[in-house]
A = this chain, B = another copy of it.
Amino acid sequence: MANSKYAYVREFELPDPLLPGTFMLFRLDGHSFHRFSDKHGFTKPNDVRALQLMDHAAKDVMTEYPDIVLAFGESDEFSFLLRKSTTLYNRRESKIVSTLTSLFTSCYVFHWAKYFPDLPLQYPPSFDGRIVLYPSDKHIRDYFAWRQADTHINNLYNTTFWALVQQGGQTTTEAHATLRGTYSKEKHEILFSRFGINYNQLDARFRKGSVLFREEITPDLEKPSPPGFTETQTSDDAKESLSTTAEKGLESEEPINEVSQKLEAEEAKIAKKAKKKGKLPQTKIELVHCDIIKDEFWNARPAILGE
């Protein structure tokens, strides 16, 4: 039963390297998430737990893959930017697309119970992913602008739509009819005049989406344990930190805030350990909900697009 006579079938495996010197933009989307959110009773128009779970999975992916320098999430999709010079998996397309989609999915299911402690996952959700190559900085800026503008447009529509339904008593058909052809300004007006909602004061997470990026840790900044949803690591520690975090996470049944504190303590320990080694620049992954269309964000972080 020698294997060698069949091994020729490997010759059908064709190479699929992605063009060097270009940014890889990896985007994933939930598969049939309309149904998934219905089955799990997600809050309309935004379910903060579901969004936090997405962010958590995205952060785990970034932690595992240091060549991801930026990520942006909204609803059931997340975009990841890999640096132009990355040689991850020799830039093999299927390998990268499948591995990143798989890890994100795994983290999503793995962390589910932390964000929905009372609601068991009803069935295994899935995502699809793809890589798009962009040659220049401008394309990357425009890509993320495209996604964040999309976030705004969708969220303004959905917020107004569900206000009309949930507070205004309209049917969904009526609400769609009310909004047909309206401009942004008119939706703001409906929200404010009918429901007393100042759109611009809603949670920035809903209006701006989630932005994850790496920040170098300078010794001074490090002493006070970093606030919020951040993680400190060197790339050497990436693998370790992911699994350690995971272990801790699994054992706990605490509410989300306490989980967060525990994660932070964990991260501080990792940061400390990494610092001792002192080899690589220490970075932490920051989660913010800010504008990434204008120049400010990018000018303050030249490392994202630079080499």
Total A residues in contact with B, Cβ cutoff 8 Å: 75
Interface residue A300 (Cβ < 8 Å from any Cβ of B): no
Interface residue A17 (Cβ < 8 Å from any Cβ of B): yes
Report the bound CA distance from A142 to B19 in whole Å.
17
| Contact assessment for A106 and B109 in the assembled complex, using a CB-CB cutoff below 8 Å | yes
Report the bound CA distance from A60 to B126 in whole Å.
12
Given contacts A12-B20, A139-B12, A146-B9, contact A102 B126 (CB under 8 A): yes
| Contact assessment for B17 and A15 in the assembled complex, using a CB-CB cutoff below 8 Å | yes
A19, A104, A142: residue with the most chain B Cβ atoms closer than 10 Å: A19
| Contact assessment for A142 and B8 in the assembled complex, using a CB-CB cutoff below 8 Å | yes
Which residues of B lie under 8 Å from residue A124 when comparing CB positions?
60, 103, 106-107, 109-111, 242, 246
Interface residue A118 (Cβ < 8 Å from any Cβ of B): no
Stretch at the interface among A90-98, A161-169, A259-267, A273-281: A90-98
- What would 30 A/B residue contacts be, using CB atoms closer than 8 Å? A3-B150, A6-B142, A6-B145, A8-B142, A9-B143, A11-B20, A13-B132, A14-B15, A14-B19, A19-B135, A21-B136, A22-B22, A39-B243, A94-B128, A94-B129, A95-B128, A95-B130, A102-B102, A102-B104, A102-B129, A103-B105, A106-B108, A106-B125, A106-B126, A107-B124, A122-B243, A123-B243, A123-B247, A124-B246, A136-B136
